[in-house]
Structure 1
Amino acid sequence: MDRIRKVQVVVYTMIKEPQFLVLRRIPSKGSIWQNVTGAIEDGETLENAAYRELEEETGIGRDKILEFGQLFSFEYRDARDMEVEETVFFAKIKEGTPVDITKNVYPEHETFKWCSDREAIELMKWKTNSRAIEAVMENLKK
């Protein structure tokens, strides 16, 4: 049976309160809001895949990241009936870091925005994306 490994990255910055970066997929991909996500390439570590996807989808490189870490992993079966294992990371970035969604080799997103945790959670279609934002907020309260 086919199995896919993916990563998800919750991107945020701290102003007075955390602000989360959310991306809206292009219409042919459902126009849904999501965090940075993508598949792991052959021979790539989870962490390197997360860094690569973050840079591909937002233009944010490692030099703009203040904190980076793994939150949790989960499994599910996708619409193609494939098993997927997804690992969720967070990336706290420098305030004022520019975001550029136009340079992705595979255009996936039509727009992005910064928003509060509540707004980001409400925008997400997938509970796992909402749960990832909730996990960041839980970590910030520690």
Structure 2
Amino acid sequence: MRYKQPVSALIVIHSPEMEFLLIERARHPGFWQSVTGSREGEESLLETAYREVEEETGIRAAPGAIVDHHRQQVFEIYPMWRQRYAPGITRNTEHLFSLCVPRDTAIRLAPAEHRALRWARAQEAAAACFSPSNREAILALERGDFERA
């Protein structure tokens, strides 16, 4: 079995009006999130961000469109997903990115991964996210705590 790396990218997609795109996990109904995924091989974290956005939403972001906020957070991997990682791995380091797109951008979900999408204002989007780091990233972007895309 090929294990996932415990290093990931969280890409918060938002519109210029600060509405946030949320996608619902296919195998876990009710688990809403931004785009996220683990680094593969030796790709850079920015390459991970671009790949995950395209895989999960069909959006092919232009070079320079995804912003690296140079923030990371270490969190405990949920027990239901630990089997994806090498034995003994319980923590993941998540790196924060964002992407600003028009609200009418065509979204094509990967059906094996996600089953629905919605756009929401920051408070509603944050409240819907199951991940505390995702909630905080949305609220921080909305507050303007760091550079916006």
> Is the shorter-chain TM-score for this pair beyond 0.5, marking a shared fold?
yes
User: Which residue in 2 is equivalent to 1:24?
Assistant: 24
Aligned Cα RMSD in Å?
2.3
Aligned letter for 1:68? I
Equivalenced residues, count: 134
Report which of the two has the higher share of strand.
1
Name segments (4+ residues, structure 1) moved above 4 Å.
none
CA deviation profile, 1:77-100 (whole Å, cap 9, x unmatched):
212352211101000113421111
| CA-CA distance at 1:68 after TM superposition | 2.5
Match for residue 119 of structure 1? 124
The alignment's TM-score, normalised by the length of structure 1, stands at 0.83
Q: Would the alpha carbon gap of residues 66 and 140 (structure 1) be closer, same or farther in structure 2, given more than 3 Å must change? A: farther
The share of aligned pairs that are identical, in percent, is 27
Question: Aligned equivalents of 1:109 and 1:67: distance in 2?
Answer: 23
AA in 2 matched with 1:93: V
Unaligned runs of 5+ in 1: none
Asked if residue 132 in structure 1 is aligned to residue 137 in structure 2, the reply is yes
User: Could you tell me which residue of structure 2 aligns to residue 69 of structure 1?
Assistant: 67
Q: Structure 1 residue 94 and structure 2 residue 102: aligned?
A: yes
Letter in 2 for 1:113: R
CA contact (8 A) 1:5 1:86 kept: yes
Q: Compared with structure 1, are the counterparts of its residues 117 and 66 closer, same or farther at alpha carbon in structure 2 (3 Å cutoff)? A: farther
- State the 1:141 CA deviation: 8.7
Partner letter of residue 11 of structure 1?
I
2:85: which partner in 1? none
> Shift of the alpha carbon at 1:118?
1.2
- What amino acid is the match of 2:45? L
